[in-house]
Chains A and B, each alone.
Chain A
Amino acid sequence: MTQAFRLPTGGIIDRSRPLRFEFDGTAYEGYAGDTLASALLANGVHLVARSFKYHRPRGILCSGSDEPNALLQLDRGARTEPNVRATTQELFDGLIAASQNRWPSLRFDVGAINNALSRLLPAGFYYKTFMWPPTPRWWLRYEHFIRRAAGIGRSATAPDPDRYEHQYAHCDVLVIGGGPAGLAAARAAAHAGARVIVCDENPAFGGDLRGMNDDGSNIDGKARATWIDEAVRDLSGSGDVTLLIRTTAFGYYDGNLVALSERVADHLAAPLAHMPRQRMWKVRAGTVVLASGAHERGIAYAGNDLPGTLLAGAARTYIDRHAVRPGSRAVVFTNNDSAYAAALSLSRAGIAIGAIVDAREDSELTGALAVRAREHGIRIVSGSMVPAAHGSKRVTAVDIESLSGGRGTRVDCDLVCVSGGWNPAVHLFSQARGSLRYDESLAAFVPERSPLAIVAAGGVNGCSDVGGALADGHAAGLNAAAKAGFRGPASYAAPHAEPVAPGRLRPLWSVPARDRSGKRFVDLQNDVTVSDIALAVREGYESVEHLKRYTTLGMGTDQGKTSNIVGLALLAEQLHRPISAVGTTTFRPPYTSVTLGAYPGEEAGAHLEPTRYSAMHDWHVAHGARFINAGLWRRAHSYPRAGETPDDAANREAKNVRTNVGLVDVSTLGKIELQGNDVAEFLNRVYINRWDTLAVGRCRYGVMLRDDGMVLDDGTTSRLADSYYLMTTTTVNAVEVMQHLEALLQIDWPELDVYLTSVTEQWSAAALSGPKAREVLAAVVDIDVSNAAFPFLAVGTCTVRGAAGPMPARLFRLSYSGELAYEIHVPADRGRAMWEALLAAGARYGIMPYGTEAMSTLRIEKGHVVIGPEADGRTTADDLGMGKLVNAAKWCVGKPLLSRPALIAPDRWQLVGLTALDGAVMPRGAKIVADPDHALPNPMLGHVTSWCWSPNLESWIALALVANGRARHGETLWAVSPLADAKARVRVRIGPPTFIDPDGERLRG
């Protein structure tokens, strides 16, 4: 097809650059500068969609982001995207688009049966019909089918191949909208010295003037296009101005944070190599100038949804900007002057105008444009309306009737241009907690006041002519710059355009109904009609928010940009209340839909959160370690050898620690240095046990409580020097503990002389465990590590001899495994050298590295608790068998509430050890019960917290919290796990939690 509806001249399309595209399988051609919508219209394609509920044929209504109908599936393989507005999608070569919500085809759609059945599908149909029988289960059953019937478009199934970016920015003045008002505001603010960002959702600046016929008017004596070019050039040459096109301000948040969505590559077939697909801007603006313009609205008459129906401004845009003839014979239906500009464009394009049907009386048609239209000899039928349009897949005729009654006439046409007035795009002003005022003369809501620094300018304030918008914008720019502290000297004078005297608008929301069959649509995207609103009011939905949810008015992807105000005006009519008393629904972000990928931006996949690696990480990788996540850390789980499963490896590693010696990377432990004169006092207050007795060169295990008495964390603290301590915390709790300690010191006890420094990242650490640990250590350090010289819980410094030379180290005689063990800490960058030195020295003793899985097995065998599984936020120190540690002679955080009756009740769940009997395997997530055959719900006596195969005991063992567990040692109970395995039932023997070396001879030896 050859663009049969393209005008031979005019427009801002590039006729030398034809672009091929496809719609529903048919090949077409357009030009660079086209939108998908303008290119379809240039080829005479008006029918582009089926409506949501009734599957009615729909065409292109608008020319911008307010479009409710022309939502297409853009097919780009893995980039396929539903609900793309044809009116904003720029045409590119090879674009493939398809219509949605139809089967088997757009022209013949089975779902259109809904239209015939529409009397059975009133507002609230789903709520009314599917609420019986009144059980949620039935609703869930219906919902499945309803959702399928209501589908629009399809989402991609392959992973998103594109990249998205986030960009933070700060400015004194953010100008939203780059039309005449926005450009004037930006220039005024920039010339006053302010740092300015200007964004516009279109591919170029100029707003409603972009590509439009001047029709004899000018700005500062220049053609409008020339003025816009100069303004943009001036701004891009100014010091600190950022110009963003294809960028929509979609959300306004606290602290004047405005979120912008920049569509960097959506106008291309695919992003170029260096491009993200989209960029989300988070702009902190001193002051915002909102120059977002206005959206035209329609008038509800029967058949106002037929393809070939365009808003008057959109028709004018397609003619002027894109050199497209949207029809051959038009009827214009209006209640205000703006449609006359469209009529003049129609006339220039050679489109026959059957009539301008104007709701206003002849005496009201005094505006300059109306006068010009009359001079052009265009037939004006005043005081009249279009009660109905006719046609099936395209409008073929309209009726024209006097508003005061009488017989109508029928006029043939294939294009209806409608204007019911203009709704200022107040969305962001409202999001900025701004109040709105109903302006009777505009019959629209305009910004009133906001507590935030936002100034509205131009069309959003109700300016309908260029001169007014320029002056308003200039003033807003100066005002915004002044708010940010920039008061000139302004070297830039306000731009000037001759004002145009507007004619008064006569509010007309819908025409009277003529018969039952003619649907008068208010919300075209969600198929909400005038009758639906009347019905909702009759049923008692009088609040605008209820009306919205009951009828789904304004709940489509267009968020009701063309329909909301019409809908609430009709609600007001029904209620016989003024529109100002009915009010608007709440405007919420996003202003237009934002691609989900843009929200996480770069923070997806591997970059979802930071990953922390120890200095030994590369060694672990090189030696086949399997990893797990611990907080943000990657830790070695085990080091499987050829033919081993990770569990086999962990069992081998755990066994080797008890028989020979093992080495584990514990760099991830939280490490906090404490310095000052009051550290001992501070430790006394935060740990349950005593610290003022700890000597230099010694360390001690400690438990911290939350204020409610539950265990917060455990770890060891070492006294390195007189007033210099090192605390270790659990890996995953390090951040929380640091914050807790800082709060206590800064808020509660500022008088204590204690300074905290997190040194987790500064030290690499390894634990050397096993009966042969001492021999291995002695081979690499320069101090005496005999039991006499360096006993259990000793702390010291030494030098470790590595292959590349000696390194300073801190040495701690601590044991988590229950074996003779040492922790060696070296400066972080020496971690791998220390690790390799110990492994080399241990080779002759059978040393093996071990991972977190073996470490876990060893600590379960030893009965050591872990924060999380055992200390789960509901357990006290006594529950965990550490009641003795709570020092009776001193106070500590959490102690006052420990004496509450519930925390000392005899049936509290207490830590015990379980041994599986009969050679059974402990099931996952097991509960402890007395009788596994008891009818459900089976009374629970407790639950397993940690469990493992013990290679040293050759049996499945577990730690568990069991009611009054310490008194049950020796009893046999049952472990069941109805969720993991309904058949699982394991006889378990209750005993003390320490399975190995209960007297601690090994670790002290």
Chain B
Amino acid sequence: MLLIPCPWCGPRNQLEFTYGGDATVKRPLPDAPMKTWLEFVYLRDNPRGPHQELWHHSAGCRQWFKVLRDTQTHDILASGRADEALPGATA
């Protein structure tokens, strides 16, 4: 069970959170071409190693935020606000 450091509440049990997927994917502008939208909706990398993810503190402060998690070891390397660049994140 992960211990997830919410930037607002501190370390909390994984049970309090909802996973939100790849944090490096950016919502396209409304007039972006269909291909861009298709990639945004359907295509995700599946990296082995550090991965920037979105998590929602759904049973806590209700904030969406970023976590840098190693998908191989489950180690959590960093966390920060949704609009923040995480230290150690490559993308």
Contacts and interface: CB of A to CB of B under 8 A. Distances in A.
Interface of A: 168, 253-257, 282, 284, 433, 451, 707-708, 739, 742-743, 746-748, 750, 891, 896-897, 899-900
B20 to A, nearest CB: 7
Interface of B: 1-3, 13-14, 18, 20, 27-28, 30-32, 34, 37-38, 40-42, 54, 56, 58, 62-64, 73-76, 82-83
A739 B1 contact: no
B18 A257 contact: no
Given A707-B41, A742-B56, A255 B18 contact: no
Contacts, number: 57
A254 B54 contact: no
A257 B3 contact: yes
Contact of B82 (A254, A746, A897): A746
A750 B1 contact: no
Contacts of A900: 34
A451 B82 CA distance: 28
Contacts of A451: 73, 75
A899 B73 contact: no
B34 A897 contact: yes
A168 B1 CA distance: 13
A321 to B, nearest CB: 37
B56 A896 contact: no
Contacts of A746: 63-64, 82
B34 A896 contact: yes
Contacts of B31: 891
Contacts of A750: 82-83
A313 to B, nearest CB: 35
B1 A748 contact: no
A140 to B, nearest CB: 36
Given A707-B41, A750-B83, A739 B56 contact: yes
13 contacts: A253-B1, A254-B74, A255-B3, A284-B3, A451-B73, A742-B64, A743-B20, A743-B64, A891-B30, A896-B28, A896-B30, A896-B32, A897-B41
A896 B63 contact: no
- Looking at A284, A451, A746, the one whose CB has the most chain B CB atoms below 10 A away is A746
Given A254-B74, A255-B3, A739 B18 contact: yes
Given A254-B1, A451-B75, A739-B58, A896 B18 contact: no
B75 A896 contact: no
A519 to B, nearest CB: 43
Contacts of B58: 739
A255 B37 contact: no
B2 A255 contact: yes
Given A255-B1, A896-B28, A900-B34, 14 more contacts: A253-B1, A255-B2, A255-B3, A256-B3, A282-B1, A742-B56, A743-B54, A746-B82, A747-B54, A750-B83, A891-B31, A896-B30, A897-B37, A899-B34
A900 B74 CA distance: 38
A742 B60 CA distance: 13
A805 B42 CA distance: 56
Contacts of A743: 20, 54, 56, 64
A254 B2 contact: yes
- Looking at A707, A743, A891, the one whose CB has the most chain B CB atoms below 10 A away is A743
Given A707-B40, A742-B64, A897-B34, A748 B27 contact: yes
A748 B27 CA distance: 7
A918 B8 CA distance: 64
A747 B73 contact: no
A739 B56 CA distance: 8
Contact of A896 (B14, B37, B42, B83): B37
Contacts of B30: 891, 896
Nearest to A708: B41
Contacts of A747: 27, 54, 64, 82
Contacts of B76: 255
A900 to B, nearest CB: 8
A739 B76 CA distance: 23
B87 to A, nearest CB: 19
Nearest to A757: B62
B54 A897 contact: no
B3 A742 contact: no
A284 B37 CA distance: 42
A707 B13 CA distance: 30
B54 A742 contact: no
A546 B63 CA distance: 46
A708 B40 CA distance: 10
A168 B3 CA distance: 13
A253 B3 CA distance: 10
Contacts of B54: 743, 747
A707 B82 CA distance: 20
- Looking at B1, B42, B73, the one whose CB has the most chain A CB atoms below 10 A away is B1
Nearest to A890: B30
B17 to A, nearest CB: 11
Contacts of A748: 27
- Looking at A253, A284, A739, A896, the one whose CB has the most chain B CB atoms below 10 A away is A896
A897 B75 CA distance: 36
A282 B62 CA distance: 25
A683 to B, nearest CB: 15
A897 B64 CA distance: 25
Contacts of A742: 56, 62, 64
